[in-house]
Amino acid sequence: MDLGIAGRKAIVCASSRGLGFGCAKALAEAGCEVTINGRDEKKLAEAAAALAKTGAKITPVIADVATPEGQKKLFAACAEPDILVNNNGGPPLKDFRELTREAMIDGVIGNMIVAIELIQKTIDGMAARKFGRIVNITSSSVKAPLPGLDLSSGARAGLTAFLAGVARTVADKNVTINFLLPGPFDTDRLRSGIENAAKKQNIPFEQARAARMATTPAKRFGTTEEFGAACAFLCSSQAGFITGQNLLLDGGAIPTAF
């Protein structure tokens, strides 16, 4: 299906690997000009080279978008994006009793405030041009919080509630704001968690991986390619009547009807 976004300009945050890379690749394949972002120069260069094989224009930006300086660099590379994909790593697994005030503030900044700041900088231009697609990558823990990920769940749930109202204010301008809620996807973050579990249980990595996979009704982990495809559809011209929604991608792990 032609997504109708060829030639559109997209910013995809934290896109040198994982789910962000999957989104950037799908948008590039749809014909978008994609600005990608990361903090590791080598990994970002590798991602840019891989994405360039799609034939799309790829602009890599080395920056921490949690900082004003990083955001300035991002918009210097792409001043008027038609598409914004907000993405950022979450805080590490930790008992909430161990969280310091500084850690909680950093978590809220990284998983809530940064996305809002980027939207503040893009939404009026999108509205003026009568086209805008904003996709926020949050987590399935927004719907089903997990012990130890309380800070991540709370900050991302706060972002969800905040933007649910904002989404309705620009829907008539053909600007949409939606959320992708990933469950177990085959990424470095998931593999790291499985490695830690394997060490704690003193079992081989593959055994821990199989046990984790068995908890998902689909009996497998998601791929970055299928995640990216879902993102690209929400950014498409055909998705203009979808806004303020949370799309759960978890292989059926959360047993909910809504």
Question: Residue 89: what pLDDT?
Answer: 84
Question: Residue 257: what pLDDT?
Answer: 85
Q: H/E/C letters for each residue in the chain?
A: CCCCCCCCEEEECCCCCHHHHHHHHHHHHCCCEEEEEECCHHHHHHHHHHHHCCCCCEEEEECCCCCHHHHHHHHHHCCCCCEEEECCCCCCCCCHHHCCHHHHHHHHHHHHHHHHHHHHHHHHHHHHHCCEEEEEECCHHHCCCCCCCHHHHHHHHHHHHHHHHHHHHHHHHCEEEEEEEECCECCHHHHHHHHHHHHHHCCCHHHHHHHHHHCCCCCCCECHHHHHHHHHHHCCHHHCCCCCCEEEECCCCCCCCC
CA atoms within a 13 Å half-sphere pointing along the CA-CB vector of 27: 34
Question: Residue 231: what pLDDT?
Answer: 98
Assess contact for 232 and 178: CB atoms under 8 A.
no
Mean pLDDT by 10 residues, the chain (258 residues): 97 96 98 97 97 98 95 97 94 91 95 97 98 97 91 96 97 98 93 90 95 96 97 98 97 91
- Our measurement of the distance from residue 76's CA atom to the centroid of its chain's CA atoms, rounded to an integer in Å, reads 21
Q: With both helix axes pointing from N to C terminus, report the angle between 205-214 and 188-201 in degrees, rounded to the nearest 10.
A: 110
Q: Which fold has domain 9-185+223-249?
A: Rossmann fold (3.40.50)
Question: Residue 39: what pLDDT?
Answer: 95
Question: Residue 181: what pLDDT?
Answer: 97
**What ranges do the domains of the chain cover?**
9-185+223-249, 186-221
- Alpha carbons 120 and 138: distance in angstroms, whole number: 18
Sign of CA dihedral 149, 118, 230, 160: positive
- Alpha carbons 182 and 81: distance in angstroms, whole number: 24
Question: Residue 57: what pLDDT?
Answer: 98
Q: Token pair of 65, please?
A: 């978008």
